[in-house]
């Protein structure tokens, strides 16, 4: 099991008031799974994503990542875990605008202290996997939205993470690019990559093998069949 | 390569940052450039002046100290004044004492008229020529070089030979291009045979900043005629108390030897260390003409005025540093999203800290290097315009660049810490 969350709570302090965002969330992802989490805005999905991605800590509850207790980890250990264990994909791509596609993909390897030459080779390989090797020297501004998101995916997979975390990956793309992206996700998943994807689009969520619903901080399993018709 | 995410990468990033915002970077550096340029220019000028003063001393080359009678620090001139009460010629015993002082090479007595004597040769008159009555060792003690002919021998002294040695400017004034050796000249109606010509003391060209300097140095460079000390009473008066010139083994011992020589001479006359000299109200005593001491005073003076300038330049660096801090804070805010992303991708706090510190340090170091270049140019411009000598100091350059790097590290610290502490979630949400 890659992700094993049990009875997780997350509260925010709003002035004097304690606002519960996640309530008793239990959730697990097995190796090779592709899971979607659906929810409206304000349902707490971004908070859950941040906690799964080790950017944020839960108020209470257990979180084991690859069997390791995340709550006991120091800041540096969490950084290492994000670097080696998690591949992030954001709605707004978050590519560095002044770096080429290749340099953007190299970035996680820089923080993993991979020597420059090996870095370049591995980044190129990752770009090949998203079919963008011929755009390696392009700047983000010279790429289309779909291409940018594929560069972001190359960056997410370059360090062979245990899991891909995608937060509304199709949110900034037109429907055609979105479909292509989902095909790529499915391809990666078939190659063994575990994926957790947050989305509010049913059609996108339906690509996953398992769909969960987050509503007012409570996570529930959803019958995937009910989505099929919409896809 | 254990630290591939470290230094080289940061330097690359920093230079990219500087080149992306060329105008902003340049304006930020300007304070540093001006500060460092000012420091380099000032230090180069100080060093140049000091170097010249030192070289002038060594250029005079002789390490000679003259000890003469002074009234309130002004040389007592027999041209206009009679011998003061209680002063007698310097005894052989005193001379032996002086010669046995540590650091003394040789010493000689002499008398002089610097302004009032006239020398004739045929129809040529040389007014205001310096006339010196000297012991045979004088030329050696003063470090004067014979160009042609001969100097005075013991025979000239003992037999009161009326012979003269001219310096180059006296020879040129009296004989122009003719051969002076073997010709005669007249000093005060007495005829002297020219036996030798010596080189003029010329390499000593200090900056003249006061009347005192003028008399000290210009007096030294006018034409001079030397006769044996024994002949002095023929022209002037008996029993004039002599001055003494002492040649030291090295420059450093000059001050000490000068002081001790004056002490020996004063003691022989019964003048103590106290304030009053022989004639009550005015202080007349032997004192050393200490070039080294004078040079030190000039050097100290230029040092103290210039150290003030360096403080002012330092303030410019401080202002420059604050400018760097300001622009780094702006840069951190602008790049909040980038920082958040990097943290999400696994950059540790210290990596972010290192990146921004490096950027600040590179910014100020480049400013420092440009400042050194501008400073050197400025120094040479000063040399050209103000005719002040300039010596570029390599240690000053190294220290300046290191200092500008330090300014970047110090003033970059606060923005860098701020960057490293950014919450990645907040930072990624930042628009």
Percent of chain A past pLDDT 70, that is, above it, reads 97
* Between residues B9 and B24, the one the model is more confident about: B24
Q: pLDDT at position B188, please? A: 79
Structure tokens at A116: 């420059």
Say yes or no: B5 contacts chain A, CB-CB below 8 A: yes
Cβ pair B348:A84 closer than 8 A = no
End-to-end Cα separation, chain B, in angstroms: 36
Cβ pair B5:A116 closer than 8 A = no
Prediction ipTM score: 0.91
Work out the mean pLDDT of chain B and round it to a whole number: 82
Does the pLDDT value for residue B3 go beyond 60?
no
**A226–chain B nearest CA distance, Å:** 33
pLDDT digit string, tens, across residues B309-358: 778 888 888 888 999 999 999 999 999 999 999 999 999 999 999 999 99
Q: pLDDT at position B290, please? A: 65
Does the pLDDT value for residue B396 go beyond 90?
no
Cβ pair A83:B345 closer than 8 A = yes
What is the rounded average pLDDT of the residues B140-146? Answer: 86
Q: Which residue of B has its CA nearest to A82?
A: B346
**Chain A residue numbers touching B3 (CB-CB < 8 A):** 113
**Chain B residue numbers touching A54 (CB-CB < 8 A):** none
* Between residues B48 and A131, the one the model is more confident about: A131
Cβ pair A107:B345 closer than 8 A = yes
Q: pLDDT at position B177, please? A: 80
* Between residues B388 and B228, the one the model is more confident about: B228
Give me the DSSP letters along B289-312: E-HHHHHHHHHHHHHHHHHHHHHH
Contact present, A30 and A56 (Cβ < 8 Å): no
Cβ pair B4:A76 closer than 8 A = no
- The beta strands (E) that lie in B267-424 are given as 284-289
Work out the mean pLDDT of chain A and round it to a whole number: 90
Say yes or no: A121 contacts chain B, CB-CB below 8 A: no
Cβ pair B347:A53 closer than 8 A = no
pLDDT digit string, tens, across residues A177-189: 999 999 999 999 9
Q: pLDDT at position B204, please? A: 46
Strand-by-strand arrangement of the A60-65 sheet: A17-29, A3-14, A60-65, A68-69
Which residues numbered 94-113 in A keep a CB inside 8 Å of some CB on B?
94, 96, 98, 107-108, 110-113
Task: Give the number of A-B residue pairs with CB atoms closer than 8 Å.
Answer: 62
Residue B61 Rama label (left phi>0; alpha psi -120 to 50; beta):
left
Q: What global pTM score does this model have?
A: 0.68
Q: pLDDT at position B293, please? A: 65
**A55–chain B nearest CA distance, Å:** 7
What is the rounded average pLDDT of the residues B230-249? Answer: 86
pLDDT digit string, tens, across residues B280-319: 556 788 888 766 666 677 677 667 777 787 788 888 888 8
**Chain A residue numbers touching B5 (CB-CB < 8 A):** 110-113
pLDDT digit string, tens, across residues B206-219: 555 555 555 555 44
Q: Cα(B419)–Cα(B411) distance, rounded to whole angstroms? A: 14
Q: Which residue of A has its CA nearest to B429?
A: A92
Does the pLDDT value for residue B260 go beyond 60?
yes
Which residues fall within 8 angstroms of residue B107, CB to CB, at 6 or more apart?
A: B95, B98, B99, B137, B141, B244, B245, B246, B247, B261
3-state secondary structure of A63: strand
Q: pLDDT at position B56, please? A: 64
* Between residues B282 and A23, the one the model is more confident about: A23
What is the rounded average pLDDT of the residues A76-98? Answer: 92
What is the rounded average pLDDT of the residues B30-41? Answer: 90
Under CATH, what is the fold of the domain A33-43+74-226? Answer: Rossmann fold (3.40.50)
Say yes or no: A120 contacts chain B, CB-CB below 8 A: no
Cβ pair B428:A90 closer than 8 A = yes
Q: pLDDT at position B214, please? A: 53
- What are the beta bridge partners of residue B185? B192
Does the pLDDT value for residue B277 go beyond 50?
no
What is the rounded average pLDDT of the residues A51-74? Answer: 91
Q: pLDDT at position B160, please? A: 84
Among B2, B9, B16, beta carbon nearest to A98: B16
Q: pLDDT at position B72, please? A: 76
Structure tokens at B249: 């083994």
Percent of chain A past pLDDT 90, that is, above it, reads 69
pLDDT digit string, tens, across residues B167-218: 888 888 888 888 889 889 988 788 999 999 998 764 444 555 555 555 555 4
- Residue A104 half-sphere exposure, CB side, CA atoms within 13 Å? 33
Does the pLDDT value for residue B360 go beyond 80?
yes
Of B47, B163, B67, B154, nearest in space to B107 by CA? B67
Which residues numbered 309-338 in B keep a CB inside 8 Å of some CB on A?
337-338
Which residues numbered 41-100 in A keep a CB inside 8 Å of some CB on B?
50, 53, 55-56, 75-76, 79-80, 82-84, 88, 90, 94, 96, 98
Say yes or no: B12 contacts chain A, CB-CB below 8 A: no
């Amino acid at each position: 099991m890659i992700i094993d969350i049990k009875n997780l709570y997350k509260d925010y302090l709003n002035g004097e008031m304690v606002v519960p965002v996640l309530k008793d969330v239990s959730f697990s992802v097995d190796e090779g799974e592709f899971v979607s989490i659906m929810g409206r805005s304000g349902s707490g999905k971004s908070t859950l994503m941040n906690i799964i991605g080790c950017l944020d800590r839960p108020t209470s509850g257990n979180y084991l990542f690859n069997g390791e207790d995340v709550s006991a980890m120091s800041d540096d250990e969490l950084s290492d875990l994000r670097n080696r264990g998690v591949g992030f994909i954001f709605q707004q791509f978050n590519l560095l605008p002044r770096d080429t596609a290749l340099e953007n993909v190299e970035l996680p390897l820089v923080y993993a202290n991979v020597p420059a030459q090996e870095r370049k080779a591995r980044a190129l390989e990752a770009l090949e996997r998203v079919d963008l090797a011929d755009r390696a020297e392009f700047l983000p501004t010279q790429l289309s939205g779909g291409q940018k998101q594929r560069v972001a995916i190359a960056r997410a997979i370059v360090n062979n993470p245990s899991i891909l975390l995608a937060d509304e990956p199709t949110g900034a793309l037109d429907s055609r690019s979105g479909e292509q992206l989902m095909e790529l996700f499915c391809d990666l998943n078939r190659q063994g990559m575990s994926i957790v994807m947050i989305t509010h689009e049913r059609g996108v969520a339906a690509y996953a093998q398992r769909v969960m619903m987050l509503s007012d901080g409570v996570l529930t399993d959803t019958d995937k069949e009910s989505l099929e018709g919409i896809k | 390569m254990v630290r591939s995410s470290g230094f080289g990468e940061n330097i690359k990033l920093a230079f990219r940052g500087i080149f992306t915002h060329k105008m902003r970077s340049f304006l930020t550096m300007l304070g540093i450039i001006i500060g460092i340029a000012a420091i380099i220019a000032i230090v180069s000028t100080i060093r140049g002046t000091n170097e010249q003063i030192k070289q002038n001393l060594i250029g005079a080359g002789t390490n000679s100290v003259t000890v003469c009678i002074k009234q309130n620090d002004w040389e007592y001139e027999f041209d206009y004044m009679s011998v003061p009460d209680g002063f007698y010629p310097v005894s052989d015993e005193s001379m032996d004492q002086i010669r046995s002082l540590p650091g003394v090479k040789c010493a000689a007595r002499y008398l002089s008229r610097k302004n009032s004597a006239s020398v004739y040769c045929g129809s040529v008159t040389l007014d205001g020529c310096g006339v010196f009555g000297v012991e045979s060792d004088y030329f050696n003690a003063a470090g004067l070089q014979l160009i042609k002919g001969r100097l005075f021998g013991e025979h000239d002294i003992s037999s009161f030979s009326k012979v003269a040695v001219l310096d180059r400017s006296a020879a040129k004034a009296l004989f122009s291009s003719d051969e002076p050796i073997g010709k005669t000249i007249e000093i005060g109606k007495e005829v002297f045979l020219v036996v030798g010509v010596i080189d003029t003391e010329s390499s000593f060209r200090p900056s003249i900043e006061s009347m005192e300097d003028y008399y000290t140095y210009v007096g030294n460079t006018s034409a001079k005629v030397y006769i044996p000390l024994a002949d002095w009473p023929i022209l002037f008066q008996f029993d004039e108390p002599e001055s003494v010139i002492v040649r030291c083994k090295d420059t450093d011992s000059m001050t000490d030897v000068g002081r001790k020589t004056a002490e020996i001479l004063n003691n022989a006359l019964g003048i103590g260390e106290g304030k009053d000299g022989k004639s009550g109200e005015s202080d007349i005593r032997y004192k050393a003409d200490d070039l080294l001491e004078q040079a030190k005073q000039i050097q100290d003076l230029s040092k103290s005025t210039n150290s003030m300038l360096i403080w002012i330049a330092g303030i410019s660096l401080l202002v420059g540093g604050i400018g760097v801090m300001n622009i780094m804070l702006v840069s951190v805010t602008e790049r909040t999203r980038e920082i958040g992303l990097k943290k999400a991708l696994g950059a540790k706090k210290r990596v972010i800290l290192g990146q921004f510190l490096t950027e600040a340090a590179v910014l100020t170091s480049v400013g420092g290097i440009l400042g050194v270049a501008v400073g050197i140019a400025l120094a040479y411009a000063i040399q050209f315009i103000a005719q002040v000598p300039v010596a570029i100091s390599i240690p000053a350059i190294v220290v300046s660049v290191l200092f500008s790097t330090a300014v970047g590290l110090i003033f970059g610290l606060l923005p860098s810490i701020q960057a490293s502490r950014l919450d990645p979630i907040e930072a990624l949400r930042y628009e």
